[in-house]
Structure formats: structure tokens, C-alpha cells
Chain A
Amino acid sequence: MSLQIKPILVALRRHKAGTLLIALQIALTLAIVCNALFIIHQRLATLSERSGVDEANVFVIQNQWAGDRSTQQVDAQIQADMLALRQLPGVRDAAPISGGYPLRGGGWDNFVTMTPDQVKPTTDSSVYMGDEHLLDTLGLRLVAGRNFRSDEVHGRGNEQTIIPPVVIVSKALADRLFPGGSALGKSFYAMGATPSTIVGIVDRLHRQGASQWDKAHAGQSLIWPARLDDPSGIFYVVRAKPGQLAATMREAPKALYAQSRMRIIDPKDGIQDYAEIRHRVFDSDRGMGS
């Protein structure tokens, strides 16, 4: 073999410029292709992240209130809206959700501490608020403990920061705070003066954001039992019965407008299913991955 390599090496030495050019080209191409592949791989990994939501059957309604409503009026309207949505034939369950919804692209997050006076936070968690129907509506899988009871869910105004005494957390948050699977029944503080006790743990619940900054607490989420009676608006999540997503998405706004016309549901993007939500939130990542 060495006999055959020698003439090649000699030839290469005689055409130094050509050899150098080819070597340079190969090196540059490899460098750029490898880097590009690495970036694509990273982005594709983000794209395929699971949200924990039953994405095939769930859609979100962005409901903005019109006019000047008091907190009490908003609370009553939310409850009336929920009854109307849950009565639709294609609907399995429906719930109000505040703080954002999984993959919304941004929302609430609170620092978490183990004691009320701890200055340096233990970690950070996405915060969702909803009622006892939220778990079933999103399709979250309870792996320990129980769901909220209806008597634990209260309406609260924007400025009424009342920390609910019970909380449901994602497994990622439970494991982060109490390694070893002993989280159920334990308490923590999420920027409040009073603690919340973990009554339930769900398998998986994605944060609202999909950007890079909150990667560190990916998957760490908590749900508080509350209806946030924000006079500007609220999100409703609705889970359709299998195969009835499209029909239910058409029926839902009609049912809500029948309850009250003093609301705004954007005809263009006021109602989105998870295919659209995913598409929107990962727009920039998909560009880099395609």
C-alpha cells in the first residue's frame, strides 16, 4: 500500500496550491456543516418537546371582556360561560386558565422557596391558575395525590394576591423540591407569606414559554386553584370529545356570545387548537430546524 501512496504524495507536493485549496474547502465545508447540523439538532429537540396536554383534542379561547365590569361580575360571567361550554355536545370538559397556557409563548412564573424568609430562591416555576376541571380539560395525568375539590377554588381579583393553601405540581417541580419522591403533603412558598401544600402531582406540564431563557426550569410548573377575575380578559381551555375538535371550535364562540355579547373573541386568532399554538410558538425554531 505504501508504494501506492508515495506517488500520490509526490504529486500533491508538486501542486501545492491546488492541494491547499482542496484541503481548505473540505475543512471549511465540514466546519460549517457540522455547526449547522448541531444548531438544527438543538432546535428540533425544542420543537419535539411534549407539553403534557392532550394536544389532539384541546383548543384555547382568548376571551377579552368588553365594557366596565366589576370583579364580581367577571367571576359570575366566567362561571356561566363554563356551564354553557360544558353543556355543548362535543365538549368533554372546559376550564378557565390564567397565567397563560402551555406553549402560549409567555406567562407567569414565580420563584419558589422552602421557607418564607429565604432570600435566594430554590428554583423557579411556571404558574397556572384554574378550577377543578383544569386537569381533565388539559388531559394531565395525575400520578400521585388528588385533584382540587370545587370548594378549594375561589375567584380573586388582579390585586388580591391570596396564596391558595393547596397546590398541584408537575413531577419535575416535585422532584426538584423534594428529591426521592416524597413531595406529596409537603409545603413550599411561591413568593407568598403563606405556604401551599402539595395535594397532587401530574406527570408532565410544560411551561408557557418556549424561549431559551427559561430552559433551566423546563417542565417545572404549579397549578393553584383559583379563577383570576381579571377585568381585561381570560383564557378558556376546552377539550373536545375525540374527533369533534373542529365542530366544537365552531360551536364554542356561539355558545359564549349567547351568554353575553360584551366580549371579544378575535375572529382571526381568538380560538386556536394546539397545532396552531405549536406552529406559532416555535416559528423561529422551526425556521432554524428546516
Chain B
Amino acid sequence: MFAYYLELGLRSLRRNPALTALMVMAIGFGVAASMTTYSVFRAVSGNPIPDKSAQLFTPLVDNWGPQQNIQGEPPDALDYVDAMALTRAHEAKRQTLLYQVQMSVMPGGDRDLPLAANGYAVYGDFFPMFEVPFRYGGGWSKQDDNARSADVVISDQLNQKLFGGADSVGRTVNLNGHDYRVVGVTRHWNPKPRFFDLFNTSGFKDASDFYMPFTRALDLKMRSVGSNSCRGKITYTTWEDFLQSNCVWVTAWVELDSAAGVARYRRFLEGYAADQQKAGRFAWAPNVRLHDVMQWLDHRHVVPPESRISLLVALGFFVICLVNTIGLLLAKFLRRAGEIGVRRALGASRREIYTQYLIEAGTVGLAGGVLGLLLTAAGVAGVGVLFPPQIAKLAHLDVSLVGLTLLVAIIATVLAAFYPAWRAARVQPAWQLKSN
């Protein structure tokens, strides 16, 4: 019966071309607006590291206190003293500190001008923790961290510029006038959003060029080129004073495998802050946080408000289109009251009429979905008009979006048809036959 009703439905699309066209357009535009904005929303609100997002945590310690912190929350990064204390305690299986650094690649070979390079100062654990993929070589060891080695991991892009894409492991690159040994070359790696550095970025940036040992960067007194936030009086006049200040600029990450491990680390953090209070460094009770990746994305409001607002506006528009469709379906179905009367008189049950008209609505939805798909494709291609380029280029049309577009169009139209089909099923055969 389904196939027969489907055929009837498809045939009836042609019966009231104007009405049908109106409905198909309403659904098409509605679903396309929703799907286009959804494609952006999906891209910015996704999980950047699905298999580990529940094992990676960023610890925060309130070193500003209740009078200077932000509405009771600890600052979103650590000062040097706390960062180093957490690192020395080594309470997690893997852990890293990180901050943004900028260097210049000195001229060499056929380049007569220096090249800009943006990267991070990190610990060796950074690479396995965040599953950084390597083309050649790998990260560096704990011994290298401790030896404060002049090692560097470069991106495939920088490797292409400097070494023509060849295996450059073991070769030397001059950064800011100092020689570094290349120990690894990453494959293209740019998680979006950049969950591990939401203190300095809004989450969407071009891929980094290099990673260098944190310990080495400190030796060179390299300042963060990212954010640096301080409270109270800033009185430091030397690098050493700066390190002892309450300025926060270091992000820490730890990898914890089990719920018990997380609980233990939380206790450790509390204990650390309590010790600071006892030692007189903090004049307040422990106030610490331990956010996992998804909590951290949420806390830093990574999803741009624009993408949420435009999704809501588009969904609202879709609802209007659907209300419109209810009216149009009502007109289309009730115009055929005579036909329904005859079918009912010949023995069709209300249930059968109901089913038939729902399926007919489904065909309208399918047609609307196909139109919506074309418009969604156009919308995704033109999303740069609405969103900044860094966000716009994340949106793309894939199999799941195609499927979702068609599915949403059909389901929404069938839902819209509940009332019109119910009215159609309640047509009184006797009245219709008499008037004919």
C-alpha cells in the first residue's frame, strides 16, 4: 500500500502545480536556511579530540583571590610560580605547560629575507597527549625537557618552505639567531577549535609553524606573544621579577585516565592551594578548577554568538514556513473532499485516508528537501558573506548534511501534515456524495 500511496502522492504533486510549488519553495527555503547555519554551528561546536576529550584536563588555580578574580572564578591561565609547581609535582601520567611564542627563521639558502614563524613552547608530553601526527621523526623526551635542549618540531608547511618537504630530521634551522635541531615534522595538524590554547586564541587560527621546548624558551627569556593578564600593582622590572608576579600567561594540561585519577588530581590541586594559603602566599581558601576539553570549550565560549543567533533566526524562519505549509496542505487536501468521500463510501477506513495523505505530504517534503539541498549547497558556498573567513571556511557540505537536509524536510512536512490529514480523514462521505 505504501508504494501505491507514494505513487499517488507523486502524481498529485502535478495536480495543483501552483499550490505545490508554493509548499516546495516554503520548505526548500526554510530547510536550506536552517541547514546552512547549522553547517557553521556544527563546525564550531564540534569535539576537536573526540577519543580523548574526557581524559585531558586544564587545571586552574586562583592566584588573584576573591577581591580581584573574575566573579569568583580563577583566572583562565596560570602564573609562572603555580605552573612550575604543578609541573614539578608531576601528579598526572602526562602533563605539559604551553604558551605562544613567535620567532623568525633566519635567511639561508636562496632566501635573503627572514621568515615569520608562530609556535608554542611546550613539554615533550604535548605530542602524545594531543595526538599530534608526525610525517617524519617525533617529539622530544623528558630528558630533552630537562636538558633544555635546542630541539624543534616543525610543521609540514614550514618543512616545505625550508627543506622542500624532504625528511629534515637531524637538520639545523636558525630561529632568532640560534640553531635548533629538527627532531620531528608534523603532518598538517590544526584542531578546530584549538582547544589546548583558548587563553590566547578564540579557537580558530592558522596552523602553528613550530613547537619548541618550554624549558629552552624560558632560558631565552622569551615573552609570550599571546595574552598576559595581571592584577594589582605591576612593579616588576626584570625577567626574574616578572616570573614571580601574579601575571597569568601559562596554560597547563594534564592527562588523567580514570575517574579515580581525576578525583586524586582534584585533591592534589586543592591541597596545593591550601599549602599556598598556609605559606601565606594566598590569603584565601583554595579555589581551583579542573576542566576537561568540552567543559573548557564551554567555559571559554568558543561557539561564536553569531553562529548561535543565526541558527536560531533560521530555525524561526523554518517554523514560519512550516505553519505556512500547514495552511497550504489544508487547502490542497480539502479541495479533494469529494474524492475522499467516494473512497470512504467504497470502504476505505479513516486510518487509510490518514496514511495516504501523510505519505502525500511526505512526497511534498521530499521535493522541498531536494530544492533545499540545492539552496543549502549554494548557502554553504556563500557563508563567507555572513561569517568571518576563519569560521566560514570550516563549513562544508558532506554526506551527513545531505542526508540530514532531506530527512528534516520530509519529517517536518509530515509533522505539518498531521492536522490537514486528520481533517481529510474526518470528511463525511454522505455530505460529499449528496453534494455531488
Binding site for B on A (CB under 8 A): 17-18, 21-22, 24-25, 28-29, 31-32, 35-36, 39, 64-68, 111, 116, 119-120, 158-162, 191-193, 230, 232-233, 261-264, 266, 283-284, 287-288, 290
16 pairs, A vs B, C-beta closer than 8 Å: A24-B323, A25-B320, A25-B327, A32-B313, A32-B316, A39-B309, A119-B67, A119-B68, A161-B234, A191-B232, A191-B234, A192-B235, A264-B115, A266-B116, A284-B388, A290-B385
Contact A161 B235 (CB under 8 A): yes
| Bound Cα distance from A25 to B310, whole angstroms | 20
**Would B104 and A17 count as touching, CB distance under 8 A?**
no
Q: Are the C-beta atoms of A288 and B309 separated by less than 8 Å?
A: yes
Q: 7 additional contacts, CB 8 Å, given A21-B327, A119-B67? A: A21-B323, A32-B313, A65-B104, A116-B233, A161-B234, A284-B304, A284-B306
**B residues less than 8 Å from A162 (CB atoms):** 237
Partner of B310, one of A160, A262, A288: A288
Closest chain-A Cβ to B323's Cβ sits at a distance in Å of 5
> In the complex, which residues of chain A have a beta carbon less than 8 angstroms from the beta carbon of B306?
284, 287-288
Q: In the complex, what residue of chain A is closest to B202 when comparing beta carbons?
A: A211
What is the bound-complex CA distance between A29 and B316, given in angstroms?
8
Interface residue stretch chosen among B238-246, B269-277, B354-362: B238-246
Chain B: minimal CB distance from A6 (Å): 25
Contacts of A28 in B (CB 8 A): 316, 319-320, 323
Known contacts: A64-B104, A159-B241, A232-B223. The answer to whether A287 contacts B234 by CB under 8 A is no
Are A68 and B176 in contact, CB atoms less than 8 angstroms apart?
Answer: yes
Contact partner of B238 (CB less than 8 A), chosen from A120, A159, A192, is A159
- Asked if residues A262 and B323 are in contact (CB atoms below 8 Å), the reply is no
| A283 neighbours in B (Cβ, 8 Å) | 387-389
Cα–Cα distance between A162 and B241 once the two chains are bound (Å): 13
Q: Which residues of A contact B323 (CB under 8 A)?
A: 21, 24-25, 28
- The answer for the CA separation of A116 and B387 in the assembled complex, in Å, is 44
Residues on B with C-beta less than 8 A from A159 are: 236-239, 241-242
Given known pairs A64-B104, A66-B104, the reply for A264 and B236 (CB within 8 Å) is no
Residues of A within 8 A of B304 (CB): 284
* Contact residues, B239-257 vs A (CB, 8 A): 239, 241-242
- With A24-B323, A67-B114, A284-B306 in contact, do A158 and B176 touch (Cβ < 8 Å)? no
With the chains together, A26 CA to B282 CA distance in Å?
59
Contact digits for B127-142, partner A, Cβ 8 Å, 1 yes 0 no: 0000000000000000
> Closest residue of chain B to A32, judged by CB?
B316
For B386, the closest partner residue in chain A by CB is: A287
Q: Across the interface, do B423 and A17 meet the contact criterion of CB distance under 8 Å?
A: yes
Interface string of B385-424 (1 = CB under 8 A from A): 1111101000000000000000000000000000100010
A262 surroundings in chain B (CB, below 8 A): 114
B112 interface hit (Cβ, 8 Å): yes
A45 to chain B, nearest CB (A): 16
In the assembly, what is the distance between CA of A189 and CA of B231, in Å?
A: 13
Contacts of B116 in A (CB 8 A): 64, 264, 266
- What is the CA–CA distance of A17 and B329 in the complex, to the nearest angstrom? 12
Min CB gap A290→B, angstroms:
7
**Bound Cα distance from A191 to B387, whole angstroms:** 37
Instruction: Decide if A32 touches B317 in the complex (CB within 8 Å).
Output: yes
CB distance from B146 to the nearest CB of A (A): 24
Name the CB-closest residue of B to A22: B327
A25 to B328, CA, bound (A): 12
**Closest CB in chain B relative to A44 CB, distance in Å:** 14
Residue pair B113, A192 in contact (C-beta under 8 Å) = no
B224 to chain A, nearest CB (A): 10
B324 interfacial by beta-carbon distance below 8 Å:
yes
Residues of A within 8 A of B242 (CB): 159
* A288 contacts across to B, CB distance below 8 A: 306, 309-310, 386
Q: Which residues of B contact A65 (CB under 8 A)?
A: 104
Residues in A whose Cβ lies below 8 Å from that of B102 = 64, 232-233
Q: How far is B106's CA from A261's CA once the two chains are assembled, in angstroms?
A: 11
C-alpha gap A21/B306 in the complex (Å): 31
* Contact in complex: B237, A161 (CB < 8 Å): yes
Q: Which residue of B lies closest to A160 (CB)?
A: B237
- Contacts A68-B176, A264-B116, A287-B388: A120 and B67 contacting too (C-beta < 8 A)? yes
With A287-B388, A290-B385 already in contact, the answer to whether A67 and B106 are too (CB < 8 A) is yes
> Given the complex, which residues of A lie within 8 Å of B107, measured CB to CB?
261
Which 5 A-B pairs rank lowest in CB-CB distance, beginning with the nearest? A66-B114, A66-B104, A68-B177, A283-B388, A287-B386
Q: A161 contacts which of B106, B236, B389 (Cβ < 8 Å)?
A: B236
B234 touches A158 (CB 8 A): no
Inter-chain contacts of A68 with B (CB < 8 A): 176-178
Scan residues 352-392 of chain B and give those whose CB is less than 8 A from a CB of chain A. 385-389, 391
List B contacts of A31 (CB < 8 A).
316
CA distance A283 to B388 in the complex (A): 5
Knowing A191-B234, A193-B235 touch, does A158 contact B223 (C-beta < 8 A)?
A: yes
CA distance A259 to B242 in the complex (A): 33
Residues of chain B lying within 8 A (CB to CB) of residue A290: 385-386
**Is B330's CB within 8 Å of the partner chain A?**
yes
Report if A25-B309 is in contact (Cβ < 8 Å); known contacts: A232-B225, A264-B114: no
Q: Which residues of B contact A64 (CB under 8 A)?
A: 102, 104, 116
Q: CA–CA, A177 to B385, complex, Å?
A: 41
B326 in contact (CB, < 8 A): yes
Taking the nearest CB of chain B, how far is it from the CB of A105, in angstroms? 10
Given A28-B323, A158-B223, A159-B241, the answer on whether A192 and B233 have CB atoms closer than 8 Å is yes
Q: Does B230 belong to the interface (CB within 8 Å)?
A: yes
Residues of B within 8 A of A32 (CB): 313, 316-317, 320
In the complex, are the beta carbons of B223 and A230 less than 8 A apart? yes
Tell me, in angstroms, the Cα distance from A264 to B319 when the chains sit together: 53
In the bound complex, residues from chain B placing their C-beta under 8 Å from that of A21 are 323, 326-327, 330
Query: What is the bound-complex CA distance between A17 and B334, given in angstroms?
Result: 13
Q: How far is the CA of A22 from the CA of B328 in the complex (A)?
A: 11
Question: Smallest CB-CB separation from A283: which chain B residue?
Answer: B388
Complex formed: what's the CA distance from A111 to B234 in Å? 11
- State the CA gap A108–B316 with chains docked (Å): 40
Which residues from A are CB-within-8-Å of B238? 159
Q: Closest CB of chain A to B106's CB: distance in Å?
A: 6
A159 to B238, CA, bound (A): 5
* Nearest chain A CB to B183 CB, angstrom units: 22
CB distance from A122 to the nearest CB of B (A): 14
A283 to B176, CA, bound (A): 33
A161 to chain B, nearest CB (A): 5
Q: Which among B178, B233, B234 has the highest number of chain A CB atoms within 10 Å?
A: B233
